[in-house]
Amino acid sequence: MGYSMPSSAHSDDILRIIGQLSNDGARSGEPGAWATIREAIRGSHVEYTTVSIGRAIVLLAVPMVLELVLESVFALVDVFFVARLGADSVATVGVTEAILSIVYATASGLCIGATAVVARRIGERDRDGAARAAVQAIALGVIVAVPLGALGAAFAPQLLGTVIGAGPDVLQHVAYARIMFGFNGVILMLFLINAVFRGAGDPAIAMRVLWIANAINICLDPCLIFGLGPFPRLGVAGAAVATTTGRTVGMLLQLFVLWKGTERLAIGRRHLRLVPEVMLNMVRLSGSAVAQSLVITSSWLGLIRILSSFGSDALAGYTIAIRIVVFALMPSWGLANAAATLVGQNLGAGRPDRAEISVWRTCFYNAAILLGISAVLVVFARPIVSAFSRDPSVGAVAISGLRIIAGGFLFYAYGFVLTQAFNGAGDTLTPTLINLFCFWVFEVPLAWVLANPVGAGPAGVFFAIALSFSAMGVVSAVLFRRGRWKTLRV
């Protein structure tokens, strides 16, 4: 089905529907913006397939944004304290995260499948089906996490040295990597169960879990890194212990809430069994979603490999810049996840047109927010980076990277939302192909050419990142307009 511009009549129909949906809240006496935000944080009990689209987006996106901000705070807090130990310690965190990106990719893929299936069942008003899907998702997570943890802890030095190309200054801190790799299952399960809550329309629960986990991490980080009070001085390894402890507590809390049950989702004894047809459907969706995530995250490994040739200062600067960018993009990912939930639930309720309008409205909100964030990062890059490192060599790389990547935020806004919309509909193949083209065929070769033959150095890598994410936004918009995602069964 080829891409074509809509006819004038069709465009008028879309505008008319948007106008009607925009006025839904006013006619029904729905609360104002601030009241809606407070409701979102407390946890909402509305039906997302019937309330006004603007209100549905806010109710879902606010706790999702806060959840992701808090998850990103894990990384920022670690870098903030570890930076006091020197560039080699920051580089250790950076290269370890690069390897862990494989785990994050796996978790992200499982999350996509879980969110899509749970959201579709909730839209169909099938609460038992949603609970069964949640159990199958958690079972898949356990199956994947156990061998990954064992292999990662056992081969940590080889992963850092051989795969990434880290030098002796980084390998001396291998204990950090062993802890993070060994307990990667906690990371995976925390992400996965929160995805179940998001698909069910309970994002406030996921947000509260991370409040608790993050508070524990923030308190333990300086104590274990620097040996405050009765705590041992563990150096950079202390950051791994603090993060793992916080996430473990969060995961246990998630399991308790699932067992206790929420208004939309409750797991009982009758759900605690493997259901082959549900498991196979989850594997089908999650398999291509994992491939989708692996494509983009493995491309980060390629970028790290290119940057490693420029030394620890370049790696440390890249690590700081990327952590700040990831933190700044949290609102974007929150809105994208909200779009995925709205697509899944509206398709389940038999309302594909409302699903499409929800996505474009979310794109618009996302673009407005990211333009403001982009301006802040470009103008205030130097003082922001100085909060993480006073080393002029490290700072120069980080400032350059921050400004270059932030320059493409407008395109990212559309790319993030649209790819997640595909995923929410159960079309995980299309984003996989988009990622394969934009990040492996385009980004990694371009980064090497700009960094080495062209002679741009680390800045060449940053330009490649900005251009590839911008390309993702354009390609995603073209394919989304074709509408094939509306017809898929999940």
Tell me how far apart the alpha carbons of residues 423 and 431 are, in angstroms, rounded to a whole number.
Answer: 8
Q: Which of 136-150, 249-263, 264-278, 282-296 has the lowest mean pLDDT?
A: 282-296
- Mutual orientation of helices 184-200 and 330-348 as an angle, nearest 10°? 50
Per-residue confidence (pLDDT) for residue 72, from 0 to 100: 67
The pTM assigned to this predicted structure is 0.77
Residue type, 76: L
Per-residue confidence (pLDDT) for residue 75, from 0 to 100: 67
pLDDT tens-digit map of 298-353: 888 888 889 888 888 888 898 889 888 988 888 888 899 999 999 999 999 999 99
- Give me the mean pLDDT over the 196-211 stretch: 89
pLDDT tens-digit map of 405-417: 998 898 899 999 9
Mapped onto helix, strand or coil, the DSSP state of residue 166 is: coil
440 exposure class (CB count in 10 Å sphere: 0-12, 13-18, 19+): middle
Angle at 6 between CA 61 and CA 477, to 5 degrees: 40
* Helices (runs of H) and strands (runs of E) counted in the chain: 21, 0
User: Would you say 271 and 259 are in contact if contact means Cβ atoms under 8 Å apart?
Assistant: no
User: Would you say 189 and 251 are in contact if contact means Cβ atoms under 8 Å apart?
Assistant: yes
- Give me the mean pLDDT over the 194-217 stretch: 89
Per-residue confidence (pLDDT) for residue 110, from 0 to 100: 85
Mapped onto helix, strand or coil, the DSSP state of residue 350 is: coil
Sign of CA dihedral 69, 71, 75, 78: positive
Tell me how far apart the alpha carbons of residues 300 and 101 are, in angstroms, rounded to a whole number.
Answer: 8
Q: What is the dihedral of CA 397, 316, 393, 404, to 10 degrees?
A: 10
Q: Report in angstroms the alpha-carbon separations of 309 from 315, 329, 367, 453.
A: 9, 28, 35, 14
pLDDT tens-digit map of 147-164: 888 888 888 888 887 777
Residue type, 470: S
Residue 468: closest CA among 418, 411, 414 = 411
User: Would you say 352 and 71 are in contact if contact means Cβ atoms under 8 Å apart?
Assistant: no
Per-residue confidence (pLDDT) for residue 74, from 0 to 100: 66
